[in-house]
Amino acid sequence: MHDIEPHYGWREYYIASEDESSPFYGRVYSEFSFSQKIYNYYIHPQWDDFGSSTLYMKILYLDRVDNYAVIELIGEWNDCIHNDVMFLKRNIADILIDQGISKFILICENVLNFHSSDDSYYEEWYNELAEYNGWIAVINPHAHVLKEMEAVRLQNYLQLSDVFMDIQWRKKSPKHLYLELLSIMNNETKQLTY
């Protein structure tokens, strides 16, 4: 796991540690000193700790015009033991919501497992975003992670679907990714209304 880096192809557009409004403003990263672990496995030092002991992140992009954030995650999403959604909601989402961010794109291809607990933080997050027509989209989760999320009905609060399973996001700009997701969601809504 130590050689899985957060996506760096969008650094020309945004760097969280250089954004004064970012929760990670001023962070200094080492390329050589590995100190963060998920269980017994070191992870690349470019990942950001936000309070969870098993889940790390990188804010890849913030757009304060269209009000969306692209966040890449790595590790084990464990609400059952570590209440990871609480840390994600309180330490990251709440700060970004206060800045006007109402749409969250969570890239989950490096999330290895998901363990559920109750859905109160998801419901709270969903309700806060609903005031602004916002949403939370989970893209590229592993099939077993998607299945676990659906088993506890997180699709009531998150955009979870097979259509988000194979998004080729790295070759796109952040804006193109956002527009693609909007298009998918609009098509899904139209299909449901017929």
3-state secondary structure 55-114: EEEEEEEEECCCCEEEEEEEEEEECCCCCHHHHHHHHHHHHHHHCCCCEEEEEEEEEEEE
pLDDT at 38: 74
- β-pair partners for 110: 74
Q: Name the residue with higher pLDDT: 56 or 38.
A: 56
Residue 144's CATH number:
3.30.750.24
* Domain assignment of residue 77, given as a range: 16-193
Q: How many domains does the chain have?
A: 1
Cα separations in angstroms, 29 against 41, 46, 49, 59: 18, 6, 12, 14
Residue 8 is assigned to a structural domain of this protein: no
Residue 3 is assigned to a structural domain of this protein: no
Residue 139 is assigned to a structural domain of this protein: yes
pLDDT at 193: 41
Residue 98 is assigned to a structural domain of this protein: yes
Instruction: Kindly tell me if the per-residue pLDDT of 75 is higher than 70.
Output: yes
- Given a contact cutoff of 8 angstroms between Cβ atoms, the answer to whether 178 and 68 are in contact is yes
- Given a contact cutoff of 8 angstroms between Cβ atoms, the answer to whether 174 and 14 are in contact is yes
pTM, two decimal places: 0.93
Residue 6 is assigned to a structural domain of this protein: no
- Span of 25-29, 80-84, 104-108 with lowest mean pLDDT: 25-29
48-64 pLDDT per residue, tens: 999 998 999 999 999 99
Residue 4 is assigned to a structural domain of this protein: no
pLDDT at 33: 74
Residue 189 is assigned to a structural domain of this protein: yes
Residue 80 is assigned to a structural domain of this protein: yes
Q: What percent of the chain has pLDDT over 90?
A: 78
CA distance 32 to 176: 33
Which pLDDT band holds residue 194 (cuts at 50, 70, 90)?
Answer: very low
CB atoms within 10 A of CB 41: 10
